Amino acid sequence: MLDAKLIQSVTDIAHQAGNAIMEIYQQDFAVYEKSDQSPLTEADLAAHNCIVEGLKKVSDLPILSEESADIPWQVRQTWRQYWLVDPLDGTKEFIKKNGEFTVNIALIDNGVPVFGVVFAPVLKQTYVGIVGQGAYKLVGNSRTPIKPKHKQAAENWRIVGSRSHQSPEIQALLDSLEGDTELVAMGSSLKLCLVAEGAAHLYPRLGPTSEWDTGAAHAVVNAAGGKVTVIEDATNVFDKNAKALSYNQKESVLNPYFLVSC
């Protein structure tokens, strides 16, 4: 069982990083290019520094962040527990100023996300999940337990899709479902959180992501009672034998395709 003080400390660190982001979000900001051509803003770096400094004060575990991802596999493969961080997930949403971006901090234990905090600073929403202890959503001073919602017969399928990364495979999936479907567009790791809180039934990801994009929200899904499974075959996303998405089990930090479900 995770210590309540650590849970609060990490939640506070995510909020502090979000505040650092908002200082930049509310003004003009510079946009750079990473080696993979994805945008990098001053806010990514400000949040990264805030999180790393904060985690070092409360834990001696190693940290893998999107903004410090050049840690050799020879080193990473020795880690049993570590912090997995995406200081600003949804950089494109940040640049568009639509508010759908998040701060993400996850604790990974033997390849499994066991604790995660996802903070959306513009929306002022925080999702916290501790496997074995439940998941909840913070809005202001309000704390509400969350859990996935199973689809009822009379309901439409509510499928989460990306606002910035639509793929033609998604339409094929929608067509394969029985009954009417409704696509819920959302950016960043909030897509996983929508399933965790019962606002959507499924989130199929048939496009590229990295482990830091999903780790924190995956922990929230796990803690809430949902699951994130690997899609081996895009024509069979509901494979009952699908294995759980895992972390730091290979040299590449790229995720396979996956399905978030209740």
Q: Could you report the per-residue pLDDT of 54-68, keeping only the tens digit for each?
A: 999 999 999 999 989
Based on the domain organization, do 238 and 216 belong to the same domain? Answer: yes
Into how many domains does the chain fold? 2
- Return the ∠ at Cα 99 (arms to 95 and 103), rounded to 5°: 90
Give, for 136, the enclosing helix (H) or strand (E).
strand 134-139
What is the pTM (predicted TM-score) of this model? 0.93
Residue from 99, 7, 95 nearest 59 by CA: 7
Is 152 a domain residue?
no
Do the beta carbons of residue 164 and residue 189 sit within 8 Å? no
Based on the domain organization, do 129 and 204 belong to the same domain? Answer: no
Domain CATH for 224: 3.40.190.80
Whether pLDDT at 250 is above 90: yes
Based on the domain organization, do 9 and 137 belong to the same domain? Answer: yes
**pLDDT at residue 93 in the model:** 85
Is 247 a domain residue?
yes
Q: Could you report the per-residue pLDDT of 26-79, keeping only the tens digit for each?
A: 887 777 776 665 666 788 999 999 999 999 999 999 999 998 999 999 999 999
Is 150 a domain residue?
no
Is 167 a domain residue?
yes
- Name the domain boundary from 145, 179, 205: 145
Is 207 a domain residue?
yes
| Neighbour count for residue 58 (Cβ, 10 Å) | 15
The pLDDT mean for the chain works out to 91
Based on the domain organization, do 138 and 170 belong to the same domain? Answer: no
Is 68 a domain residue?
yes
Based on the domain organization, do 24 and 52 belong to the same domain? Answer: yes
Cα–Cα dist 130/117, whole Å: 9
| Neighbour count for residue 244 (Cβ, 10 Å) | 14
- Name the domain boundary from 145, 171, 190: 145
Is 235 a domain residue?
yes
Based on the domain organization, do 119 and 178 belong to the same domain? Answer: no
pLDDT band for position 97 (cuts 50, 70, 90): confident
Is 42 a domain residue?
yes
| Structural domain for 222, as ranges | 157-261
